[in-house]
Amino acid sequence: MIGHRFVEDIKHDRLSTGVFERYLVYEGAFVDTAISIFAYAVAKAERIEHKRWLIAVLDALANQQIAYFEKTFAARGIDPASFNVSLPEVAAFRSDMLEIARDGTFLDIVAAMFAAEWMYWIWSKEAACRPITDPTLKEWVDLHAHEDFAAQALWLRDRLDEAGATLGEAERTKLSQIFGQAQSLEIAFHDAPYL
């Protein structure tokens, strides 16, 4: 995923306006879904410190990331209702990630969201060091290279590392499969703005 065409186009400052705006609408819809995913994580977390952290994640999603989309859509004259967010690659990312959260365990959710957020942080850190002429795209990349987003990705990693010391082979395999599933969904999702 970190070598995906979408990422390379951002790093080389050649992402077209059309692809970026389609992506923004698709990603905005996913962030809305991510609120539900993390809400499931809050409900399934057993430790209060985990619940507190996740509640802060929910606050950031609802009040920072969704606000970014609202502001950006208004500034760029984007009407999200005029875009097809039911494309299979877009819909599958939302529905399958939500299914993992709804039907899985706390660690299943952590593994799925770790796959998404770790990847995003890794490529955004590199892209943030490069020239990006579209200020809206630059803001989006910087948001994901920021230490607050890094802390979230690291928190997810730490939960998996912490649990990994006591998990059996079957549970480790299941979490690895969820990680792989989330990566496959991410790749297809990032293909979608080019379709």
Q: Using H for helix, E for strand and C for coil, what is the string for the chain?
A: CCCCHHHHHHHCCCCCHHHHHHHHHHHHHHHHHHHHHHHHHHHHCCCHHHHHHHHHHHHHHHHHHHHHHHHHHHHHCCCHHHCCCCCHHHHHHHHHHHHHHHHCCHHHHHHHHHHHHHHHHHHHHHHHCCCCCCHHHHHHHHHHHCHHHHHHHHHHHHHHHHHHCCCCHHHHHHHHHHHHHHHHHHHHHHHHHHC
Dihedral, 106, 144, 177, 171 alpha carbons, nearest 10 = -30
Domains of the chain (ranges, CATH numbers): 5-194 (1.20.910.10)
Q: Give the HSE-up count for residue 40: Cα atoms under 13 Å, Cβ half-sphere.
A: 20
Residue type at 87 in one-letter notation: L
pLDDT of residue 151: 95
Tokens of 120: 């995003």
pLDDT of residue 183: 96
pLDDT of residue 121: 96
pLDDT of the chain, 195 residues: tens digit per residue: 989 999 999 999 999 999 999 999 999 999 999 999 999 999 999 999 999 999 999 999 999 889 999 999 999 999 999 999 999 999 999 999 999 999 999 999 999 999 999 999 999 999 999 999 999 999 999 999 999 999 999 999 999 999 998 999 999 999 999 999 999 999 999 999 999
pTM of the model: 0.94
Find the farthest-apart pair of alpha carbons in the chain and give their distance in angstroms, rounded.
51
105 phi/psi in degrees, rounded to 5: -90, 175
